[in-house]
Copies of this chain bind each other. A is one copy, B any other.
Amino acid sequence: MRDLFTNIKIQVNEKIYLKDPETSILGKKIIEESILLMDAIGFDHFTFKKLGEKISSNESSIYRYFENKHKLMLYLSSWYWSWMEYKLFFATNNIEDPFEKLKKAITIVTEKIEDDEATKHINESILNKIIISEFTKTLQTKEVDEENKEGFFLIYKSVINRIVNLIIEVDPDYPFAKSLASNIIEGALHQHFLRDHLTTITNCNENISPTDFYINLITTVLKNK
């Protein structure tokens, strides 16, 4: 899998950036360090000025890559879900049994992420932390409908639809495949957040993972396993 990633370029909607950060050293540095800074101070306190200082570069240089921090966050999340889609594909590709396949997929999208050494400038483990705390904010804006039309969320929806198809394969009669899939993906992020911050309203802790909860859920909800 490592070799595959080295050759495959994660695709992000071109309208999200002004200049592709993958095409220059500065661009890659912007991505690499924005992940670290976003994790350290959060989206709300993140500014291009602070990022510029951190990478010893100029605020105005960053603006040549991204219109604003919301677009940068859209880039990071698109990258994440695109990477997730590859992971999903390769991890489930060789599994025959539909239910085992679905379980593997659910595991992939709900588990805690370790850094993928194949991508030098992106720390997936930290990116995952950012997605847990910040992703929903990229959706929940007044501009969501326009941005959805522009295709900014295509990869995210594609990941969900992959899960939907696996659910349908297991139980074609289950009437809420889409809601179940979108619930699991969003819900897993939320359960991770609760485990870290609001521990009294989740069963997840060091021993029980969101993955355990959601595997148990689909096992009882779906038939024909």
A182 located at the interface, meaning its Cβ lies under 8 Å from any Cβ of chain B in the complex: yes
A160-176 CB mask vs B (1 if < 8 Å, else 0) is 11001000000000011
Copies of this chain in its oligomeric complex = 2
Fill in one digit per residue for A132-148: 1 if any B CB lies within 8 Å of its CB, else 0.
Answer: 01101101111011001
CB pair B176–A183 under 8 Å, yes or no, is no
The CA-CA distance from A51 to B145 in the complex, in Å, is 25
Q: Within the complex, which residue of B197, B208, B213, B220 is in contact with A220, where a contact is CB–CB below 8 Å?
A: B220
Give the contact-size bracket for chain A.
Answer: 35 or more
A116 to chain B, nearest CB (A): 25
Residues of A within 8 A of B (CB): 41-42, 44-45, 133-134, 136-137, 139-142, 144-145, 148, 153, 157, 160-161, 164, 175-183, 186-187, 190-191, 193-194, 197-198, 200-204, 208, 210, 212-213, 216-217, 220-221
Q: List 8 A-B pairs, minimum CB-CB distance, nearest first.
A: A42-B142, A182-B201, A179-B203, A160-B201, A179-B213, A183-B187, A178-B203, A176-B203
